[in-house]
Amino acid sequence: MLLEALPALPADHDQTRARLVRRGFELSVFALVVVSFEAAVSVSAGVAAGSVALLGYGVDSIIEFMSGIASLWRLAADKDAVKRVRAERLTRRVIGGCFLALAVYVLVDASVTIVRHAPPHPSMIGIAVAILSLIAMPVLARAKRRVAIGLDSRALASDAAQSSLCAYLSAILLGGLALNALAGWWWADPVAALMMTPIIGREGIQALRGQATCSDGCCAVAAPR
């Protein structure tokens, strides 16, 4: 299976490293397909419902798509030690910059929504996407993180953190959408979006600094060589 546990083999072994790179490619491509679906559904549903949290989640999926592309580039450069170091730095910067851009976007959009008192419409489609993501993303994040640890890559660990963050955002999104749909609490949607911003901003700063986040306790990546 695509997301099955990786074997605990020495990371410096050529064959093992090649297997890890192939697994990384598989996971990244799989993630690109998933986040493409999330982005398309979330953005369209967010616009239709006027939901800043759902729209912000869709934008996060777009940024996660960009993060996946950067990770594929990093994996493609793994064979060459010089290119690997260069790819590590640039990939971290791309992913970190994407995080920070999303944090600013969500902060401004949610604040404007609260000031204007613009209640969103309930979105059952958004709730369904949030539930599916909440189930799938933690599994994908752990699989990516194992590859990052095996390849000693902070850049790939940051990409894994992006998938892990997606799960947290899904939980926040689900709460906001559910409260709006079931209790009519319109403010729960932009408040949920505001709750996302410090998490997203922290991830961006840590990615730019080359610090791999360990929100689920299974990340231990050394500095890139």
Q: Is residue 198 part of a domain?
A: yes
Distance CA 96, CA 203 (A): 7
Report yes or no on 215 lying in a domain.
no
Q: What is the pLDDT of residue 13?
A: 56
Number of domains in the chain: 1
Is residue 107 assigned to a domain?
Answer: yes
Q: What is the pLDDT of residue 169?
A: 79
Whether residue 145 contacts residue 213, with contact meaning beta carbons closer than 8 Å, is answered with no
If DSSP codes are grouped into helix, strand and coil, which group holds residue 178? helix
pLDDT at 210: 66
134 lies in which domain range? 14-209
CATH (domain of 43): 1.20.1510
Per-residue model confidence (pLDDT) at position 92? 78
Q: Which of 84, 87, 167 is nearest to 130 (CA)?
A: 167
Q: How far apart are CA 116 and CA 122, in angstroms?
A: 18
Tens digit of each residue's pLDDT, the chain (225 residues): 444 444 444 444 567 888 888 888 888 898 899 889 988 988 888 888 877 777 878 877 887 888 788 888 888 887 777 777 787 788 778 878 877 887 887 788 778 777 877 667 777 888 888 898 888 889 988 998 998 888 888 778 878 877 887 887 788 778 878 887 888 787 877 787 788 788 788 878 877 876 554 444 434 443 333
Task: Specify if 4 maps to a domain.
Answer: no
